[in-house]
Amino acid sequence: MTSTRSKVLWGIVSVLVAVYALFPVASILATSFKAPSDLTNQKFLPSPGQATTGNYEQILVGDAQGLFLTALRNSIGICLIATFIAVVLATLCAYAIARLDFPGKKLVLTTALAVSIFPVISIVTPLFNLWRSIGLYDTWPGLIIPYLSLTLPISIWTLAAFFRQIPWELEQAAQVDGATTWQAFRKAIVPLAAPGVFTTAIIAFFIAWNDFVYGISLTSTEAARPVPAALAFFTGASQFEEPTGAISAAAIIVTIPVVVLVLAFQRQIVSGLTQGAVKG
Amino acid sequence: MTSAIPARPVSPDLEQDTTPGVGPGGPSDKKAAAQYSDRVRAERRLGWMLAGPAFIVMLAVTLYPILQAIYESLFQFRLTAPGEREFIGLGNYLVILTDNVWWKDLGVTLLITVITVAIELVLGFALALVMHKALKAVRGPLRTAILVPYGIITVVSAFAWFYAFDINSGYVNSWFAWLPGIDSDLNWFAQGPTALFVIMASEIWKTTPFISLLLLAGLAQVPDELTEAAKVDGATWWEQMRKVIIPNMKAAIMVAVLFRALDAFRIFDNVFIMTNGAYGTEVLSLLAYRQSISRLEIGLGSAVSVLLFLCVLIICFIAIKLFKVDLAGAQGGK
């Protein structure tokens, strides 16, 4: 059965899926190399001989540099901190859920579920008002705190699912073999738990990185505005020039880390996403 | 959780403590019982000490704001005129619910939700089947490809689709000029239906991978013996699907649909980037944003936010009561 015919068939199917997944990325990649005068060529690719890296120069070293690079710094900083806090809190919480018996375990999980389906926009209005009156509007903490509502629930679910599968008896076995509690934890449990924690961090980071609603609602200047919001406020080099090229180039730059993470950790990400969601 | 293993330094009498009544029933039964309840209490305390911070943070970042929103929604209050704050009870809700804009936006939001989820379910199922059946050699690359849309920022996806269809910078018009109704003058974003088409295409492209991964996990839980048995009995591919595979992964399908529906109902990014709600494409999230952030009508905006939240609750309620979606169970809960 696994003849050449089925191999060819699978080849075609794989190419179709790859085209589906990558076409819009390729499309914006091609646009990012178009010169301003070439933007309206009505073609997928830049006109022959006209491809340019001018858009990248504009956002990395040119006049849009201030706009893009600060936004990039904001995004990276805010998302890393929000991910770190969420993963630390979620690790403690998921450990308790997977390993200890205490009343309210179900309440914690249900709350995480409820928070994850909460409409973000419903939180934004009150926060907008509150942040303005207590001075958190347009600051890093002003975004890090609401980002926890995005990153924490999924981290708890994913980690609880991971931790449930760890054979905790190993720890006892190590102790029987003469290891101290700390040694047993470090040598037997940490290596098993670390991949789960790491995967959770990637997923949480993706979610924070993707945020747009908080980003445009709770910031007003470059002080804290993250990349997705900055993209929406990009303007052209002049009043009469569309910022299409610059936005495309910026879009490609913020997509690179995603592609790298996906390439490096696709297996872990898939198991993390599905374990958190369906009984593993 | 039957074996409650303490996380604290393990005492030598671990055996007796964790398996009360099974351990060597010595003369000190009472003492063991007292010790046991101490241990239970300590474990409970530790459990809440570890889970508590995350729990409190979650409540602080959602429950508190929504309560605040409910409170604010009872006032007529505009940030530009802070002195004129006035309690008007349910007045804001009355204004919204008697306004056509709310119902139109609700209609658009529901339309987007139903269409995108239906298409994603079919497309996601097909993708899941492909990944499930794929030869080992292509499984990794397939998963990598499919994760790219998942990881990409929604705003980036919105721009990619927008520029492809845009009348000036796009190439779709010239590529598909042979189709009736499409020519170089077609401005996709100047009327509702075509704009919604592109908005939904971007939404579907970006979120189908997630649904397909959930369905893939569901597929993996269908016992192979069942499908094999059906095959031996001469069932066609379609019969296997309909009678064996789909019924056995109903729970996974339901959860995937509910999650995606709730997510689609909150749609904001794609609409904001492509049309900003123009030409009858405004959705509820955008309405709330427009009221509170753009117009600084905190009272009205809060009321829209609360109503949107209620809609989500109603969708959940319908799914759980009518369709018996066991979220906690399917989520590996307990």
In a domain, A7, yes or no: no
> Cα angle vertex A206, ends A202, A208, to 5°?
115
Is the Cβ–Cβ distance between A216 and A64 less than 8 Å? no
Which residues in chain B land under pLDDT 70?
1-35, 325-334
By the CB < 8 Å criterion, does A159 face chain B? no
ipTM (interface pTM): 0.90
- pLDDT tens, residue by residue, A125-165: 889 888 988 999 999 999 999 999 999 998 998 888 888 88
* Mean pLDDT (whole number) for A227-238: 79
DSSP structure class, residue B297: B
Q: What CATH superfamily classification does B97-330 receive?
A: MetI-like (1.10.3720.10)
**Which domain does A253 fall in, by range?**
57-277
Distance in angstroms (rounded) separating the CA atoms of residues B270 and B292? 19
In a domain, A188, yes or no: yes
Whole-number pLDDT of residue B13: 38
Whole-number pLDDT of residue B181: 81
Whole-number pLDDT of residue B31: 64
In a domain, A252, yes or no: yes
Q: Is A193 left (phi over 0), alpha (psi -120 to 50) or beta?
A: alpha
Whole-number pLDDT of residue B243: 84
Nearest to A126 among B46, B65, B265 (CB): B65
Whole-number pLDDT of residue B331: 41
Whole-number pLDDT of residue A151: 92
3-state helix, strand, coil in chain A (%, to 5): 75, 0, 25
In a domain, A6, yes or no: no
CB-based contact B213 A2, cutoff 8 Å: no
Q: How many residues does chain A have?
A: 280
In a domain, A52, yes or no: no
List the single best residue of B56, B150, B168, B186 to mutate versus A (max A Cβ within 10 A): B150
Q: How many residues does chain B have?
A: 334
Which residues between 195 and 254 in chain A have a beta carbon less than 8 angstroms from any beta carbon of chain B? 206, 209-210, 212-213, 216-217, 227-228, 231-232, 242, 244, 247-248, 251, 254
In a domain, A10, yes or no: no
Distance in angstroms (rounded) separating the CA atoms of residues A273 and A271? 6
Whole-number pLDDT of residue A240: 60
Whole-number pLDDT of residue B9: 37
- pLDDT tens, residue by residue, A9-34: 888 888 899 899 999 999 999 999 99
User: How far is C-alpha B10 from the geometric centre of its chain's CA atoms?
Assistant: 41
List the single best residue of B64, B153, B248 to mutate versus A (max A Cβ within 10 A): B153
Whole-number pLDDT of residue B18: 41
Whole-number pLDDT of residue A11: 84
In a domain, A3, yes or no: no
Q: Is A49 left (phi over 0), alpha (psi -120 to 50) or beta?
A: left
In a domain, A142, yes or no: yes
For chain B, give every domain's residue range.
28-87, 97-330
Distance in angstroms (rounded) separating the CA atoms of residues A14 and B60? 45
CB-based contact A231 B221, cutoff 8 Å: no
Count of domains for chain A: 1
Distance in angstroms (rounded) separating the CA atoms of residues B18 and B32? 11
- pLDDT tens, residue by residue, A38-58: 888 888 888 888 888 888 988
Size of interface A-B (CB pairs under 8 A): 344
- pLDDT tens, residue by residue, A250-263: 999 999 988 888 88
Domain of A143: which CATH number?
Answer: 1.10.3720.10
Is the Cβ–Cβ distance between B217 and A277 less than 8 Å? yes
Q: Which residues of chain A lie closer than 8 angstroms to B153, CB-CB?
A: 209-210, 212, 227-228, 251, 254-255, 258
Is the Cβ–Cβ distance between B261 and B109 less than 8 Å? no
